[in-house]
Amino acid sequence: MPRYTHEVKERAFRIFYDTRNLSEVVRVLKREYPKISKATVHEWAQEKDARGLDWYERSKQTEIAHHSKLDDRIAGARRQIIDDVTRAKERLMEQVPTLQAKTLDGAIYALTNAGKFILEQTGADRDSEETARQSVSALLAVLQEDEEIGRLLEKRWVQVEERFYEKLKEIRKAEAKK
């Protein structure tokens, strides 16, 4: 029968994984196993597991898997934020036909910022002023196709366009300060 169980060796590996230090493994295990030696722990670290990995390789594989899971969680959270903003933008678009002139300006501002946020977060033409302008122009063209909104935009087109470019400059200045 082996002197130390598989569970003791696995506990030793977990200590090694956390500390990356064989001496620390020995120090911690000596509390329960006073006769354990650094040579024994060193042998365990060199032994290949069922996958053919020693402790150093296993630690590296575990770290890679951990980071991969973390990356997946971050990407999932980012995707959720983008989806939430996209849904909010779509709900706002549904309300645009019923908005009065004052709230229409706010809606256009919100849609512009939502579009810019989505472009930035998805990496599509990151920091591209031209893409933002094209997106807003396309949005405004669609809005102009609506009979009621089209008349309102026609009356306020110069002001809306000026506000768009002012807001774009403000956003660039704010980003430059970061």
> What's the pTM value of the predicted model, to 2 decimals?
0.45
How large is the average pLDDT for residues 142-166? 74
* Distance, CA of 12 to CA of 93 (rounded, Å): 59
Closest CA to 107 of 86, 93, 88: 93
Q: What is the pLDDT of residues 29-49, one digit of tens each?
A: 999 999 999 999 999 999 999
Cβ neighbours, 10 Å, residue 19? 13
Q: What percent of the chain has pLDDT over 90?
A: 25
Coil vs helix vs strand at 10:
helix
Mean pLDDT, the chain, integer: 78
Reported as a single tens digit per residue, the pLDDT across 100-148 is 556 666 777 777 777 777 766 666 554 455 556 666 666 767 777 777 7
Longest Cα–Cα distance of the chain, Å, equals: 91
Of the candidates 106, 100, 96, the residue with the CA atom closest to the CA atom of residue 155: 100
The pLDDT of 15-27, averaged and rounded, is: 92
pLDDT given at position 153: 72
Quote the CA–CA distance of 168 and 138 in Å, as a whole number.
16
DSSP secondary-structure letter at 4?
S
**Residue holding tokens 């500390």?**
19
Cβ proximity of 101 and 72 under 8 Å: no
**Burial class of residue 117 (count of CB atoms within 10 Å of its CB; 0-12, 13-18, 19+):** middle
